[in-house]
Homo-oligomer: A and B are copies of this chain.
Amino acid sequence: MLNHTTIDRSLRALAEPTRRAIIEKLSVGPASVSDLAKPFATSLAAVVQHLQILEDSGLVTSEKVGRVRTCRIEAGGFDALGDWLAQRRSLVERQLDRLDTVLAELRPAGRSAHRKGK
């Protein structure tokens, strides 16, 4: 399993509405810090702090040219989280399959009816 700390940082970063809104905006396209701050009622400094956390989590990168910092989503920043999620879901599937098996053994003549088709 890949580094657990990456998952932790990603999830913490995303578990905040403002940061999620920033991610949502950035997933449409790059933006400057003050562009990102505009929609929010909070101060610019607060947004900068959120951006710092997003960068530490590996979800966002930024580079400064002149006096403006341009932020963008880091492609692949969601991969660790995606893998973790996929693994959870596959394990849950496995559980349901085993349940099916058990039910099938309990009434061998019938067809288990509670699972959605493949």
Instruction: State the A residues within 8 Å of B (CB).
Output: 7-8, 11-12, 14-15, 17, 20, 23-24, 27-29, 72-73, 75, 78, 81-82, 85, 87-89, 91-92, 95-96
Contacts and interface: CB of A to CB of B under 8 A. Distances in A.
A109 B82 CA distance: 36
A8 B17 CA distance: 7
B75 A96 contact: yes
30 contacts: A7-B20, A8-B15, A8-B17, A11-B11, A11-B15, A11-B20, A12-B15, A14-B15, A15-B15, A23-B88, A24-B88, A27-B87, A27-B88, A27-B92, A28-B91, A28-B95, A29-B95, A72-B95, A73-B88, A73-B92, A73-B95, A75-B96, A78-B85, A78-B88, A78-B89, A78-B92, A81-B85, A82-B85, A82-B89, A85-B85
Given A12-B15, A27-B95, 9 more contacts: A8-B15, A8-B20, A11-B11, A27-B87, A27-B91, A27-B92, A73-B92, A78-B85, A78-B89
Number of this chain's copies in the complex? 2
Most chain-B CB neighbours within 10 Å: which of A73, A75, A91, A92? A92
